[in-house]
A = this chain, B = another copy of it.
Amino acid sequence: MARYAEHQALALPVRRPGVPIHRWLYAEMRAAILNGRLAGGQRLPPTRDLAHQFGIARGTAVAVFEQLVAEGYVTAAAGRGTHVASSLPDDLFAAAIPRAKLLKTSGHPIGLSDRARPLTRSPFPLTGPTTAGGAFRAGQPDLMAFPVTLWSRIGNRIGRRSQRLLLGAGDVAGYLPLREAIAAYLGTSRGIRCSAEQIVLVASVQQGLDLCVRLLVNPNESVWMEDPGYPAARSVLEAADAKTIYVPVDAEGIDVAAGRRSAPSAKFAYITPGRQYPLGVTLSLKRRLELLRWAEQSGAVIFEDDYDSEFRFSGPPLAALKSLDSIDRVVYAGTFSKLLFPAIRLACLVLPVRLIDPFIAALSLTTRHMPTWNQAILSDFIAEGHFSRHLRRMRTLYSERAEALQEAARTHWSDFLVMSRIESGLDTAVLLRPRIDDRAAAAAAARANIELRPLSGHSQRRPRLRGFVVGFAAVDSRSIFDGASRFAQILKEQVSISKAHRPVSRH
């Protein structure tokens, strides 16, 4: 039996200030075993000696030894002392490669799947913004106008009510009082007659779309997608191995007849009837009925992304496509991230009756349910009337900002951009007059802290649409005018650059 390690062999690096003794001793002994300074089979000193050597409590040394035994680094047997485990394989040494070094070299390569390509093609920024708004952030409500103190007060009250059951696993479909409040709201505001049973809370419209397409579409089956359309939806459809069929959009919305010609037996259609994204047109009643008739004949399910049409400025919101859905084949999706604030991460679906059980089972498997606390706050926020009040206030505020943007556009953009009348929403599309690259212009604008989404990334048709999605809801009027003036200057420069280059290419 080996004599236990000499004091020299057990010399451990000095403990840094602030590191607790037991952590230091555990980490250093483990490291010494892993890098071979303490060899397999080697006997360790008795805890009494160790405690004496390092001036620590014996109990600490005992606890560390027990931990090393439990983890298999050290073996202990009554009357035989403790030893470094002799069965440690040779490649333990490999484990000693410092992680810091690995981080520098970005680690070993990891092979991705084929569907990782669409699945990682996300148009969303990966880090949060550093400002609450600014010209011309799209798709965002005004954060300054949200009654955050009221919101947190409701949260505090829920905590004081101390409903322990709210801490446990909740209904997968969502907190029932919230679903009831949403069903009532959708009846009034969107003309949808539905019961709380059909409502399911998800984190985002995208999450709802992801689960629906996985549940409904087999690999290589066709799905309709608007062109131009929402790139994030396209990525989700393709990540589920669906075959995307681009159906053109005109002044009445998606051209259903064209869709029927391209892919009559598609299984699924992603549509934005309330305010087509990005063009902003409303799907006409005629087209709505054509679409529903097609769904009835083909057996397709229609996914209605109703992302922001609650904010209509010239009257109450238009009824949703779902309100006409007598064949129960439309999934309606709305999002509180745009109605209230993005960080809430709550969207709601109204599901066809036949889809409720499969959807809830799939949600339960892949996510379980949305956090209950947020849902309970939102539920009270709606029930106490704060929600309608907030929407009314925001409709007025956004309407004023839409006016400001239209005035600013008339003043500064008429040479460069075509803007239609803004009827609703948080943003609008403008089309470029001069033949310049919208991505280059958006990049130049970004360097001047002006946010714009280029339209060309939204369309498949040739020639591609060129223009921008321009947000106004989260931008105060001063910033709208200032941003419009500065962006006009940038467009002017882009036109000059473009002209300077064009003659060369004609030679």
- B110 near A352 (CB under 8 angstroms)? yes
Chain A 50-89 per-residue mask, 1 if CB under 8 angstroms from chain B, else 0: 0000000000000100110011110000000000010111
Q: Does A391 contact B (CB under 8 A)?
A: no
Within 8 A of B (CB), among A337-353: 337, 341-346, 352-353
- A159 near B167 (CB under 8 angstroms)? no
- A286 near B122 (CB under 8 angstroms)? no
- A126 near B315 (CB under 8 angstroms)? no
Q: Does A6 contact B (CB under 8 A)?
A: no
- B152 near A167 (CB under 8 angstroms)? no
- B239 near A214 (CB under 8 angstroms)? yes
Within 8 A of B (CB), among A119-162: 119-122, 124-132, 140, 143-144, 146, 148-149, 151-153, 155-156, 158-160, 162
- A215 near B286 (CB under 8 angstroms)? no
- A115 near B286 (CB under 8 angstroms)? no
Q: Does A217 contact B (CB under 8 A)?
A: yes
- What distance in Å separates the Cβ of A136 from its nearest Cβ neighbour in chain B? 15
Q: Does A236 contact B (CB under 8 A)?
A: yes
Specify which chain B residues have a CB less than 8 angstroms from the CB of A357 in the assembled complex. Answer: 120
Chain A 175-191 per-residue mask, 1 if CB under 8 angstroms from chain B, else 0: 00000000000001001
- What distance in Å separates the Cβ of A342 from its nearest Cβ neighbour in chain B? 4
- B370 near A345 (CB under 8 angstroms)? yes
Indicate the size class of the contact surface on chain A. 35 or more
- A72 near B284 (CB under 8 angstroms)? yes
Instruction: Compute how far the CA of A162 lies from the CA of B143 in the bound complex, rounded to whole angstroms.
Output: 11
Instruction: Compute how far the CA of A27 lies from the CA of B286 in the bound complex, rounded to whole angstroms.
Output: 19
- B151 near A159 (CB under 8 angstroms)? yes
- What distance in Å separates the Cβ of A328 from its nearest Cβ neighbour in chain B? 4
Specify which chain B residues have a CB less than 8 angstroms from the CB of A372 in the assembled complex. Answer: 343, 345
- What distance in Å separates the Cβ of A295 from its nearest Cβ neighbour in chain B? 9
- A128 near B169 (CB under 8 angstroms)? yes
Instruction: Compute how far the CA of A120 lies from the CA of B365 in the bound complex, rounded to whole angstroms.
Output: 7
- B155 near A159 (CB under 8 angstroms)? yes
- A120 near B215 (CB under 8 angstroms)? yes
Q: Does A327 contact B (CB under 8 A)?
A: yes
A residues with a Cβ closer than 8 A to B are: 22-23, 27, 30, 63, 66-67, 70-73, 85, 87-89, 91-92, 94-97, 99, 102-103, 106-116, 119-122, 124-132, 140, 143-144, 146, 148-149, 151-153, 155-156, 158-160, 162, 164-173, 188, 191, 193-195, 203-204, 206-207, 210-211, 214-219, 221, 232, 235-236, 239, 267, 282, 284-286, 288-290, 292-293, 296, 299, 301, 314-316, 318-319, 324, 326-329, 337, 341-346, 352-355, 357-358, 360-362, 364-374
